[in-house]
Amino acid sequence: MAQKLGQERSLSHVGVITVMGLLGVVLPVQAQVTPGQDELGTGVRRQGDRFIIQGGTLSENGANLFHSFEDFGLSPGQLANFRTDAEVQTILGRVVGGNPSLIDGLIRVTGSNADLVLMNPAGILFGPNARLDVPSSFTATSADRITFGDRFFSSTELSNYQTLVGQPDGFIFRLREPGAIVNAGRLRVDPGASITLLGGTVVNTGTLIAPGGTITLAAVEGEQYVRLQSEGRLLSFDLVAIPSVSGILPLTAPSLPELLTRPGLRHATGVQVNPDGTVVLTGSQISIPTEAGTAIASGRLTTASVESQGSQINILGDRIGVLDATLNVSGATAGQVRIGGGYQGNDPIPNSQITVVNNGTRIRANALTPQAEGGEVVLWSDGATSFSGRIGARGGEGGRGGSVEISGRESLRFHGRVTTRTVNGTPGTLLLDPDNILIVAGAGPAPDDDQLADQQILAGDAPGSTFTISQAALENALQSTNTILEATNNIRIEPLSGGRLSGSSLGTSLTFIADSDNSGGGSFRMNRNDAIATLGGDITIAAARIIAGNLDTTRDFGASGTVELRAEDSIQTRDIETSSLFGRAGDVRIIAGGDIRGGGIDTSLRSGGSGTAAGSVTILSINDPSVDTRTLSSLDRATYPAGDVTVEYINASSFFGQGGNVILTGDRVLITGQIFEGAPSIDTSGAISAISRARQVVDASGQIQITHSGGPNNVPFTVGDVSNLNGTASDIVAGTVTLTGGRANSVFPVPVIGETIRTFDNANGDERIRITGVNEAPTLRRSARSFDRDQPARDVSGEVVDVWVPNNSGLVATLNEGQIALQSIEEDAGIKPAILYVDFVPPTSTLPHDFNSLETAASGDVADHLDRFMDAPLRVVSESSPDDILELLLVTSSGNPIRVTVSGVTRQQVQDAANSMRLQVTNPRSRPENYLPPSQQLYTWLISPILADLQEQEVENLVFVMTTGLRSLPVAALHDGNQFLVEQYSIGLMPSLSLTDTRYVDIRNTSVLAMGASEFTDQLPLPAVPFEVQGITAELWRGQTFLNEAFTLGNLRFQRSQTPYGIVHLATHGEFKPGSLANSYIQLWDQRLSLSDIRQLGLDSPATELLVLSACRTALGDETAELGFAGSAVQAGVKSVLASLWYVSDRATLVFMREFYTQLRTAPVKSHALQAAQQAMLRGDWRVEQGQLVDRNGDRLILPSSLVFEGSGDNLSHPFYWAAFTMVGNPW
C-alpha cells in the first residue's frame, strides 16, 4: 500500500501521487493526429500507421514553421512525420482541442535539420514505446504561449505568424495548474542537440538521451512566464509572474492522476490508480506531490559522449525528486548537472524549495580523457535538500577531479557517497553549505544520515535548520574528495569517537567555512582535546570565531598539508603539526581580528631531500584580518596589532633543508613554553653547510619577525620571561643567531610613538630576527583599561610571588566587575558573600595564576562544554599533571584578592581525597569514621588556608568556582573536626562569574509552578512525587501543581506563558551523564528532554529565578558530567538551579523539599534557605519513627502506606540525605 506525504509548507494544499516507478503504459488504439481547423493550414495525410504532416504557415524569413492540431496522439507502431523545406530551422506545433497528447509511437522530422517544439496546454504523456527521430532539439511543453520578443504563438489566439522570427525566447503558462508532461519512453536526439520537458508537473521514468547536448526537466507553477536567457535551450532562464489581464484559457488541464487515467488508457506492468486519485506503480513506494512546480526524474538521463565538450542536465522546479535515476554527463570534457538550482543558488535559473535525491540514484560527471577535469554537480534548494545517492565527478587520468555542491539554504541532509578521486591526479571538491552544521561522533546513524527511511519525500521530512552528519560519513567523503563544509551560521563538531577525525592517504583537503554570510554570528567549534588529521591534506577553517582542537596535516613520505585559520574575532586552538619526514612540510597561517591562543606549532622537516623545507608560520592578530597573508612580502607595516597572540612553542626547523619563516603580530605576543625541555621557544634553524667559495656560510635557517605593541600598558617584549604576558619562556633561535633571556638583547620596549625595530643578522649580514615595537600615537594605542594589582601570592611555606596583571575586557568578567557584584549583594540582601577559586598550577610555571587567569579558565571550560562562545583573552590551556600544586584565590567585595599556594598538596592528592569522600558520603550506611577523614583532610586543604581571612571579613556566604574534578564535590559536608562547613557558611557553586547573572531579586514574593512524574515506563517509580509537589503548593508556597500526563513540555510552556512563575519545581528523574550535553536529560511525562535542548522549556522568557530539580543525579568525578552540572543554570537560561549530585530517596527528598520551601519564606537569599534546610536535617529536626516522619515539634507527617519508611533506622542527619543538594549559578 502506498504511503502518503504529511503536510508541510507549500505542500499542504495539494493532492499526492504515489509513484512506484512510473513504468510502461499502453495508449488507446484510437490515438490519432488530426489537423486544426484554423488559419495555419496544417495538413495531415494518413498512410496506414503513418501520419504525414505538411503545410502549415512560415514566418516571413522562412525559418519558423507553425502547425496546429486538433489532437495529437500516437499508438504503438504509429509514426508522425513532419515534412519541411530545407530552410526551416524550427517547427512549432500546437494542440488546440483541449485533450492531452498521449504519444506511444515515433515522431520524425524530415526535410531539414529543424528543432521541434510541441505545445499542448492540456499535457503530454509519452508512453513506453515513444521514440524520436529528429535531427536537432526537441521540446515538449504544456505552456499556452511561445514568445518571440513582444509577440507570441498561442494555443488559442490568432497571431501574425509571419512576424514571429528568430528563436523562441519564452513560454507563458496562464493556467493556475498547467498540464503535466510525463515521459515513460525512450527519447533520443542527435549529438549536440537538446531535450526539454517543460510543464506544470514533469515526470520522467523512461530514458532521455542527448549525447553532448542538454537535457532539461523544468516544472513551472501556474501563471508564470518562463523567459529564456540563451539561444533556444533552457540553459538559463528566469520566471516572471504574468499579469491577470493576459487572458483566460477556455480549458482546464487534467491533473497528473487524471492524465494517467484517460478513457481507453489501459495499464501495463502494475500501474494502479487508487480511488482517491493517487497513482501507484509497482516499484519504490515513494510518494510525491502532483501540483504544478513538481519535477520528478527517474529512469535514465544521459548526455554522455566520448566526444562531448561539456553537456548539461538540469532538473528544475519548486519541488524536485530524483528517484532511482541515472544521470550521466561524462565526456571528453565532463559536463554539468544542476538539480534545484546552480552554484550556491546564484545561477540564473530558478531555485527549488525542496530537493531530494534518493539512495537509488547515480550521478556521473566523469572526464574520459587524460588530464581533463571532472564535471560539476550541484544539488540545491532554497529550503531543504536531502541526498543519499552516489555521485562521481572524476577527472581523467592525471587530471583534477570535479566539483560537487550539495546544499540547502535552510537545511541539508547528506548520507550519500561522493567521489572525485582521479587516477594519478588531484581529487576534486565536495561542498556542503546549509545554515548550521553539526558533526556527531562515530559511525552514526546521525539524524540526517537517515535518508528516506519512511520512503516518503518532499513533505514532512524537511530537516531542521541544522545539518547533522556523522563522523563516519565525513571521513568517508574524505576518502576520495576534497571536502568543503560551509554554513551560513555555525559549524560544531561534537566530541569525536576515538578523539580523532581522520582523512585519507590521498591527502584530500578539508575546509570548514562558518559565518559564510559574514554577519559576524557564525562560529566553528570542536572539543579542544580532539584532533583533525588529514594525512597530507590541507585544513582550512574560516569563521567569525574559532575554537579548534589539535590539527595535524603531517605526511612522512610526501608533502604535508597547510593549516589556515581565519576569523574576524578570536581563534583558540591546541597543537598544530604540519611537519614531514621526507617531503615539504606544510605552512601554518593564522589570522584574526581578536585574540589568538594556541598550543605548540610544529612545521619542522625531520629529514631531507631535494626541494624539501620546513613550513613557515604566520600568526597575525591585526586590525584588518581580511589581508591575504600569502601575497605580502613584508608584514612590518601591513597593519597594526589588534589582539594578543599566545602559543606554547614554534618549531619551524629543518635538519637537512630550509627552515621555515615565522611572522608573529599581536598586541602582546606570548610564547609560553619550549619545543622540548631545554630547547628554544622558537626555532627556525636550517641546514648550515660549509663555507662557500665566496667565504660565506650557507645558512638555510628561516627568518623570524615579531611585531608587538605591548598590550594596554605598553610592556616590553622580553625573551626568557613571560611574567608580563609579552615575551617567550625560552630562547629564540634562527640558525646561528640566538636571543637568550637575561641579556642586553632580550628586552624590546614599545616606543612613545611610531615604531622601534631591532634586527639581528648572521655572519653573512643576512637578517634573521626582527623584533618591532609599535605605537600609533603618543598615548596608549588602545583605550586605557583599568588595572588592579592582585595581592602577592601567600605561600603557606612562606614563598612570595608578585605579579601585575591587567583585567580583561569583553565577555570575561573583570575583578572590578566581580567586586561590584559582591558589593551589590551586601547592600541588597544584607549578607556578606565571598568567592573562592580552587585550581592547580604547575610547580615550575612562570605564568600568573590570578583572578584573570582563573576566571578565564573557568569560563572557558564550562562554555566549551555548553557550546557557548567566550571571548577569553590570554586563555592558556596547558596539560594537567598529577603533580600540579593546589592554589586558592579568595575574592571579597573590596581589597585585593587573597591568593594562597598550598605547598606540597598536589592535584592527585586532592583528587584522591575527593573520590574517597564522595564514595563514603554517597553511602547512607557509611559511618562517621569512614566519611569524616577525607572530609576533614579536604577542609584542611581548601578552607583552613583562608579561614582567618573569611573570619576577618565576616563572610557568611561562600561561593565556589571549582576546577576540573572538583565541581561535583559535596563541599557542604567538608568538616573541620567539630562541625560541617554548611554549619559555618551558606554555600553555592558557580560555573564562573562571567557565566552567571549575579543580579539580586527577592524571591519570597514569587510563585511556583510545580510539576512532576511518579510513573515511568523504563525507570523506577517515584511514589513520593505527588505528595512532594502537592504539599508545596497546598501548604508552603503560592502556585500550581501538574502531575504525570500534565507534565509535558507544551503544558509547561503554556503555564509559564499565562503566569510568569519565578520558581519552577520539577520532581522527576534527571541525569548529568558523561559525554556531550545531549547525553544528559530531564525526564518529562512523554519525552526525555536533553540538556542540549533544555532551552525549549522557555525558562528564560520570562526569566526564572530558581529551577528546582529534586530527583537528579550526576556521574560523580566525570569531567563532562560535572561540567554539565555546574553549567546547568547557564544552559537552562535561569539564574539558579537547586539540584542533587546523587539520587536521594524520594521519601527523604520529600522531607528536604518541605524544609527548603519553609526556610525560603524567610531567608534573605536562596543559599541561606538551602543552608537552613541542610542544618535542619543535620540536627535531626526530622526523624523516622515507626515508619512515619516526625518533625522538630513532634508533629507527624502522615504518609500513604506506599511511602512508609521501613522501621526507624533511617538516619536523616547522615550527609547522604542533605549534602547532595547544591545551589548552582547565582546563590543569592
- Write the CB contacts of 739 (distance below 8 Å, at least 6 apart in sequence): 719, 731, 732, 733, 745, 746, 760, 769
Fold of 815-862+880-990: Nucleotidyltransferase; domain 5 (3.30.420)
What average pLDDT does this structure show over 68-73? 96
Per-residue pLDDT tens for 583-618? 889 999 999 988 899 999 999 988 766 557 899 999
**pLDDT higher for 450 or 1056?**
1056
Per-residue pLDDT tens for 371-396? 999 999 999 998 888 888 999 999 99
What is each CA distance from 727 to 710, 768, 847, in whole angstroms? Answer: 10, 18, 11
CATH number of 33-445: 2.160.20.10
Whether 1008-1225 and 815-862+880-990 are alike in CATH topology: the answer is no
What integer pLDDT is reported at residue 281 of this predicted model?
Answer: 37
Contact 905, 886 (CB under 8 A): yes
Contact 223, 176 (CB under 8 A): yes
Contact 429, 483 (CB under 8 A): yes
Among 489-498, 549-558, 1126-1135, where is mean pLDDT lowest?
1126-1135
What integer pLDDT is reported at residue 626 of this predicted model?
Answer: 64
**Distance (Å, rounded) from C-alpha 380 to C-alpha 575?**
36
pLDDT band at 855 (very low <50, low <70, confident <90, very high): confident
What average pLDDT does this structure show over 395-406? 92
pLDDT band at 811 (very low <50, low <70, confident <90, very high): low
**pLDDT higher for 641 or 777?**
641
Per-residue pLDDT tens for 893-941? 988 899 999 989 999 999 999 999 999 999 998 999 999 999 999 999 9
Residue 246, pLDDT > 60, answer no
What average pLDDT does this structure show over 835-861? 81
Query: Cell triple for residue 956?
Result: 557568611
**Distance (Å, rounded) from C-alpha 145 to C-alpha 140?**
13
Residue 1063, pLDDT > 70, answer yes
Per-residue pLDDT tens for 735-784? 999 999 988 789 999 988 888 999 999 888 889 999 999 986 433 333 22
Each domain of the chain, given as residue ranges in start order, spans 33-445, 553-676+701-718, 815-862+880-990, 1008-1225
Residue 1201, pLDDT > 70, answer no
Query: Cell triple for residue 900?
Result: 594562597
- Write the CB contacts of 75 (distance below 8 Å, at least 6 apart in sequence): 27, 28, 29, 30, 31, 104, 105
Using CB atoms within 10 Å of the CB of residue 790, give its burial: 0 to 12 exposed, 13 to 18 middle, 19+ buried: buried
The DSSP-derived string for 455-475 is SB-SSS----SEEEEEHHHHH
> How many Å from the N-terminal Cα to the C-terminal Cα in the chain?
62
> Is the CATH number of domain 1008-1225 3.40.50?
yes
Residue 1084, pLDDT > 90, answer yes
Per-residue pLDDT tens for 857-894? 888 778 766 666 555 544 555 567 899 999 999 999 98
Among 430-439, 673-682, 985-994, where is mean pLDDT lowest?
430-439
The DSSP-derived string for 1176-1211 is HHHHTSSEEETTEEE-TTS-EE---GGG--STT---
Helix (H) or strand (E) holding 108: strand 106-110
**Distance (Å, rounded) from C-alpha 504 to C-alpha 523?**
26
pLDDT band at 662 (very low <50, low <70, confident <90, very high): very high
Q: CA 1202, 1206, 1208, 1209 torsion: positive or negative?
A: negative
What integer pLDDT is reported at residue 24 of this predicted model?
Answer: 36
**Distance (Å, rounded) from C-alpha 740 to C-alpha 483?**
44
Residue 247, pLDDT > 80, answer no
What integer pLDDT is reported at residue 73 of this predicted model?
Answer: 95
- Write the CB contacts of 290 (distance below 8 Å, at least 6 apart in sequence): 14, 15, 16, 17, 180, 201, 255, 256, 257
Query: Going along 868-1022, which residue ranges are E strands?
Result: 885-891, 898-906, 957-962, 986-989, 1008-1012
**pLDDT higher for 450 or 134?**
134
What integer pLDDT is reported at residue 436 of this predicted model?
Answer: 80
How far is residue 1031 CA from its own chain's centroid? 45
pLDDT band at 849 (very low <50, low <70, confident <90, very high): low
Residue 479, pLDDT > 50, answer yes
What average pLDDT does this structure show over 993-1015? 91
**Distance (Å, rounded) from C-alpha 408 to C-alpha 383?**
6
**Distance (Å, rounded) from C-alpha 96 to C-alpha 74?**
16
pLDDT band at 541 (very low <50, low <70, confident <90, very high): very high
Alpha-carbon Rg for the chain, nearest whole angstrom, is 37
